[in-house]
Amino acid sequence: MKIQVSTPIMSYMKLLESQGITDIEELSDKLYEHYQQQVSLGLYSNGRYTESGSNVKATVISTHGDKNEECILWCMNHYLGLNRNQNVIDKVCQAVQKYGTGSGTSALSGGMSILHKQVEQKLQKLIGKESVLLFPTGFTTNIGCISALPGKKDLLIFDRECHASIIDGVKLSGRKWVTFKHNNVTDLEQKLNKYKNEYENIFVIVESAYSMSGDLSPLLEIVQLKQKYKFFIYVDEAHTFGIYGQNGAGYCSHLGIVEEVDFIAATLSKATASIGGFVAIKSKYIPLLHWRASTYTFQACLTPADAAAILASLEEIEANPRLIESLHENNHYMRNRLKDLGFDLGISVSPIIPIFIPDTDTLLAFNKELYARGIFSVSIFYPVVKPHEGRIRFILSAVHTKEQIDTTVNTLHELGLKYSIISPQLITAA
């Protein structure tokens, strides 16, 4: 079977394994050869990196042989641009001077400082749950909590587009699990009705906003199901915490369902410009997670500097409501311009705007030319998303300028026509 150079690495690996090639040496040799072919043609967008760190604009260094480019960046999750906020940077520098660099050990072994406790207390007050437990990353928050919470007689039901950290947590739990169709409350209810008498507890796990599609979860409808069925709700607010709700308390807070949602988790690496994660819960779950969530028990605390960045970011969000307003204004403006030009944005509404390009060859060529024109994001394709649902994501920031948005949209317009992704007759007068 002839393999196209554009075939994604993960798809190629699955094909090799289906052909019985499982030896690590042979598999690696073939994957490396395929990777080098993609690099030589500039099709491997995942190998580029910034010269000066995350920002809305930066020099992007390529490992592919093509030249470095000064680019507008659209792949960073710093929704509010606080990683470049001078007040946040100053407080991080002060914290390093006072508290040093690393934490040295896990929370239960003495690695926590007063800064970590202040983060937990600030988050608890903001969200309105009894307690908050701080983890070193958002990824390990989900792995630790989801693997630890369900008992031996419990069932996990999760949206099939949930993040890898959720899926890994589900698998590590060792409990029975099923998926439901993405954002399909009817399918979820059918699963709840089918299994309601077979398990001691059922956990329903969703994200408030989905990172690959940019759409929001139907949380109100899911919460309403609790009137009919007994289950726990676990919501990952990775892409809504800090940018929805009063002072960025999150989408559950925005909808007024904090009490009805049993477990609210989020990362601190996006809107709050740091690293870390947390789960907001009833206090009674704290000892259980202390000793059953291995990513809490055995993983070193996030650094004091990271904790200081979180605290300073939360203070900035509270003091400057325009940050969140500006983000959503940018989202509205860019989204409407792209829709008017006829781009397929799916059902996205959050500040993640996917442009769907089903054909992988076209997707990779399109993204390569975007980079050459100073627009940087990465291609997303199967098996990260379904076959024929390839896309490029544009992640908005409050500090993207209107000029940067217009430059990007105008470039997308030109290339969209060139690659027949949009049709001239679909473009509105706007």
pLDDT tens digits, residue range 25-55? 999 999 999 888 888 887 776 778 888 888 9
In Å, what is the CA distance from 264 to each residue of 93, 269, 304?
30, 16, 24
- Percentage, residues of the chain above pLDDT 70: 97
| Residue pair 228/200 in contact by the 8 Å Cβ criterion | no
| pLDDT higher than threshold 70 for residue 425 | no
Query: pLDDT band at residue 388, thresholds of 50, 70 and 90?
Result: confident
Quote the mean pLDDT of the chain.
93
- The string of pLDDT tens digits covering residues 188-219 is 999 999 999 999 999 999 999 999 999 999 99
Cα gap 164→153, rounded to integer Å = 24
Cα gap 334→315, rounded to integer Å: 28
Confidence tier at 378 by pLDDT (50, 70, 90): confident
With bands split at pLDDT 50, 70 and 90, how would you rate the model's confidence at 64? low
User: Which of 137-151, 305-319, 377-391 bottoms out in mean pLDDT, i.e. has the lowest?
Assistant: 377-391
Q: Do the beta carbons of residue 43 and residue 368 sit within 8 Å? A: yes
For the cut 50, the answer to whether the pLDDT of residue 430 exceeds it is no
Over residues 381-404, the mean pLDDT reads 91
E strand or H helix at 69: strand 69-73
Pairing outcome for strands 352-356 and 391-395: antiparallel
Q: Name which of 267, 259, 194, 198 is nearest 233 in CA terms.
A: 259
Distance of CA 291 to the CA centre of its chain: 27
Mean pLDDT across the stretch 168-194? 97
CB-CB neighbours of 315 under 10 Å: 15
Task: Give the residues across from 203 on adjacent strands.
Answer: 156, 232
- Collapsing DSSP to helix, strand or coil, 23 comes out as coil
In Å, the largest CA–CA distance within the chain is 65
User: Average pLDDT of 397-414?
Assistant: 97
Domains contained in the chain, CATH given:
113-319 (3.40.640.10)
pLDDT of residue 386: 83
pLDDT above 60 (res 251): yes
Kindly state the DSSP code that residue 216 receives in the 8-state scheme: B
The whole-angstrom separation of Cα 421 and Cα 100 is: 52
